[in-house]
Amino acid sequence: MHYTLHQLQVFLIITQTQSITKAAEELHLSQPAVSIQLRNFQEQFAIPLTEVVGRRLFVTDFGKEIAVAAERILNEVHAINHKTLAYKGQLAGKLKISVVSTGKYIIPYFLNDFLKVNQGVELKLDVTNKMKVVESLEQNDVDFSLVSVLPVHLQIEKIDLMSNKLYLIGNSEETFNDSFYETSLLDSLPLIYREYGSGTRHVMEAYVQENKLPIHKKMELTSNEAVKQAVLAGLGYSIMPLIGIKNELTHGDLQIIPVKGFPIQSTWHIIWLKGKNFSPVAKAFLNFITQEKARIIDEKFGWCNQY
C-alpha cells in the first residue's frame, strides 16, 4: 500500500462530513480534487470504503474502521510535529475555537499576530450558529468560544473582548430625512430576522420586547450574509451588527436608519468552561488576548467610532 498522509486526511474529513462537497469546502480543495483523492485511496483496498445510495454518500463499516485508524495515524503525526517544535523551544499544539457566525468579522484580527509569532500552533476554527457554538463548549470540544450572548446554563469564565453595535439598516433606494425617527417607524418596515438561536436575533428580540414594539416580520434567514444580501436586494430591513456591514456602508449600498434608542449595544466575549485545564497553547492565547486586545481594537476597529 502506498497511501499518503494527505489521502488519510481527505478520507477522514469525508467520513466526518459524509459529503464530497462539504469535505472540499473544509479542506479548501475543489470537488474533483477530493473525488480523485478518494478514488486513489479506495484503489488500495479490495473492500469498498464508501457507497453512494440515491446520490447520498455513505461510509461502509470497513470504511469506518479505516477512518478510526486514519485519525489515530494523523494524531500521531501531529504529536510528532508538536514534540519536535517543543523540543526546539517553540510553542506547538492545537488551538480550538468556536465562533458565532457574525464573529467571523472580528476573530481573525485577534488571531493574526498570535499565529505569526507562534507558527507551530495549529488553528481549528469553527464558525457556526450560537446553539452549536455553545454545544461545542459544553462538550469541551474547544478551548474558547466567541459569543455576544452568554449561555446562562453553563458555568463559564470570560474576557469582555469588544463592544458590538447593532443598527437598523436598509438599502440606499429609499431616503430617510429625519435626524432621528421614533421607534414606531419599525412597525411600518418589513423586517428580516436571523434564524431562531442566533445571537443577533436574541439581541434584536430582547430590544423589541423591552420596548413593546409591534413588528412586521417579513422573513427569516439563516446567516448574516443572507440577511445582508436580502436587504441589499430591497426585500426588507434588518437590525444588524455594524461590524459586518463596513464595506456596504463605505460604498453607499446600505444605510443606517437613525432611530431613537439605537444602536443596540451588546458585547463580544471570549468564554471558556470554568475550571478548564488549559493547554500551553490555550494559556498563551489567553495571555495574548489580555495583553493585546486594546491595541488590536484601536488599530483594526477604530472606524466603528464614527458611527
Q: What is the homologous superfamily of the domain 164-265 according to CATH?
A: Periplasmic binding protein-like II (3.40.190.10)
CA dist., res. 160 & res. 219, Å (int) = 32
Residues sharing a CB contact under 8 Å with residue 204, sequence separation 6 or more, in sequence order: 166, 193, 194, 239, 264
* pLDDT reported for residue 84: 67
CA distances, 164 to each of 62, 103, 105, 292, 301 (Å): 48, 10, 11, 18, 11
In this structure, what C-alpha cell is assigned to residue 9?
486526511
How is domain 91-162+267-306 classified at the CATH fold level?
Answer: D-Maltodextrin-Binding Protein; domain 2 (3.40.190)
Question: Position 197: which residue type?
Answer: G
Question: What single DSSP character describes residue 17?
Answer: H
How is the chain split into domains, by residue range? 5-85, 91-162+267-306, 164-265
Angle at 122 between CA 117 and CA 124, to 5 degrees: 125
In this structure, what C-alpha cell is assigned to residue 174?
429609499
* pLDDT reported for residue 90: 65
Burial class (CB in 10 A: 0-12, 13-18, 19+), 227: buried
> If you search the block for the grid coordinates 486586545, which residue do you land on?
293
Question: What single DSSP character describes residue 237?
Answer: B
Range list of H helices, 60-211: 61-87, 107-117, 130-138, 199-210
- Closest to 294 measured CA to CA, from 109, 118, 112, 162: 162
Q: Tens of pLDDT along 244-270?
A: 999 999 999 999 999 988 999 999 999
* pLDDT reported for residue 61: 92
Contact of 195 with 221, CB cutoff 8 Å: yes
Buried/exposed 41-56: b ≥16 CB within 10 Å, e otherwise: bbeeeeeebbeeeeee
The yes-or-no answer to whether 91-162+267-306 and 164-265 have a common fold is yes
State which residues of the chain have pLDDT below 50. Answer: none
* pLDDT reported for residue 88: 61
CA dist., res. 20 & res. 31, Å (int) = 6
Does domain 5-85 correspond to CATH entry 1.10.540.10?
no
* pLDDT reported for residue 250: 92
Contact of 215 with 186, CB cutoff 8 Å: yes
pTM over 0.75: no
Strands (E) in 153-237, as ranges, are 156-171, 190-194, 216-221
CA dist., res. 18 & res. 26, Å (int) = 12
